[in-house]
Structure 1
Amino acid sequence: MPEVIPVRLGITTAFIVRQKGVILVDTGFPGSADTILRVMEQNTIAPRDVRLILLTHGHADHAGSAAELRARTGAGVAIHPADAEMLRCGDQGCLRPTSLLGRVLGPFFGGKKKSSFPSLDPDLVLREGMSLEPYGISGTVLCTPGHTPGSVSILLSSGDALAGDLLFAHPPSGRPGLPFWAEDVETAKMSIRTLLSYHPARIHIAHGAMVRGDAVKIP
């Protein structure tokens, strides 16, 4: 079964998924590569073992170190075509808050210095239902737009789901809810319902701890 190894990167999290092969899901802000490679080393994973760098979407806190990690691992970078232009430009654009908390925290995630990152052309575009078996992982890609047009989640055969920024932990309880920013709130709600329809046992989110699938309430 696939093993999910979280890599804490301050206010966000990347994930190493290991089975017959290794993929890296998200890369953190620029400057996160050393931390990610150090966690790989601690888990006896060499840079050359990484077969794919998969980005759940094109924001700087997820794609910021993709260019450096591609250079240091030799792995291709994959993103949904609807977010590919962010990657090519190295600019995530403006964040649209869904709540007061999103407006308050906006400068920490969407300020000028935080919104840009080293650009690159993706090596692979992600599609609905795409299998990760060619990369040694028993899992598939699920399109879950709303936070961004090209947001995706990963469904693994272990019952784990990697949901990127589809869900955020909400203070003070830490319970999962809507992302603090979304291009389209109603689309994000539909995507959460879609993800839950697969009955994942565990959902790993970038901004918060892992949660049980049955703990997530459909908004």
Structure 2
Amino acid sequence: MIVHPVSAGLSMAYLVLDERSALLVDAGAPGQADRILGALEALGRNRLSLIFITHAHFDHYGSAAEIRRRTGAPIAIHQDDAAAMAAGRTELGSTRGWGRLMAGLLPVAERLLRPEPTPPDLLLEDGATLDRFGFPARVVHTPGHTAGSASLLTEDGHAFVGDLISTSGRPHPQRMYAQDWAAIPHSIARLAQFGPRLVHPGHGRRPLPGERLWEILPVA
């Protein structure tokens, strides 16, 4: 399985390819469809099987609707974040540190970027698999940042975790916004118990070796 990171505006998107299928994990901010689909074409592919969204913040689902229109790929998200994405909302919860400043800028960003309401085609729950889309992968519910934050864990050990952690600077748990701060360390610990080989974050280009999840857990 090949993992190709794409810098998609304000966050990372990931193209995940096997011999026959291509999956997109997160779709970046609005206006990133050309960049993401250009990367797909550069990899010699022109079809997507699925668009998996880790959580309903516009910097992760912002180009999903446009990519769906252009490829026909269905959009999937955990059921607890589906309503926010369908309404084009970004629900931050409570904020800490730099998150307070960013929360103040959110209305400006939404006016400028105009996130599109994006009803999903598939509602996921914990333990769901993507076998029917050609990928041996399972959904792991990892709430905290949002109620419906979910990670995708492939059979060969890649974990795509959205904003559960960040590798921008020193690897750390996401620490700017959360709907449930107390749930974040539990979600990191639960993911670590699956023994992922590499953890791919929503912010930061560097994947984290899976065993290092335990190292960052005490500061969650």
Structure 1 gap segments, 5+ residues each = none
Letter matched to residue 100 of structure 1: G
Closer, same or farther in 2 for the Cα pair 1:180/1:168, shift >3 Å? farther
Give 1:64 shift.
0.6
SS in structure 1 at match of 2:24? strand
Work out the CA distance in 2 between the residues paired with 1:67 and 1:107: 26
Note the 1:8-47 alignment, pairs <5 A.
8-19=7-18, 20-46=20-46
Find the counterpart in structure 2 of residue 180 from structure 1: 176
Instruction: Give the conservation status (yes or no) of the 8 Å contact 1:23–1:53.
Output: yes
Give 1:137 shift.
1.1
Work out the CA distance in 2 between the residues paired with 1:29 and 1:44: 24
Query: How many residues end up aligned between the 2 structures?
Result: 212
Give 1:170 shift.
5.4
Find the counterpart in structure 2 of residue 128 from structure 1: 126
Work out the CA distance in 2 between the residues paired with 1:130 and 1:82: 14
Letter matched to residue 166 of structure 2: F
Instruction: Give the conservation status (yes or no) of the 8 Å contact 1:67–1:120.
Output: yes
TM-score scaled to structure 1, two decimals? 0.90
User: CA offsets, 1:115-167, max 9 Å, x none?
Assistant: 85111321100111111111111111111111000000011112110001111
Find the counterpart in structure 1 of residue 191 from structure 2: 195
Instruction: Give the conservation status (yes or no) of the 8 Å contact 2:165–2:171.
Output: no
SS in structure 2 at match of 1:191? helix
Identity of aligned residues (%): 35
Structure 2 gap segments, 5+ residues each = none
Q: Is the counterpart of residue 159 in structure 1 residue 157 in structure 2? A: yes
SS in structure 2 at match of 1:185? coil
Work out the CA distance in 2 between the residues paired with 1:179 and 1:168: 9
Letter matched to residue 138 of structure 2: T
| Bigger mean CA offset, 71-80 vs 5-14 | 5-14
User: CA offsets, 1:13-56, max 9 Å, x none?
Assistant: 0011111311111101110000001100110110xx20111110
- What stretches of structure 1 move > 3 A for 4+ residues in a row? 104-108
SS in structure 2 at match of 1:142? strand
Choose the corresponding residue for 2:107, options 111, 114, 117: 111
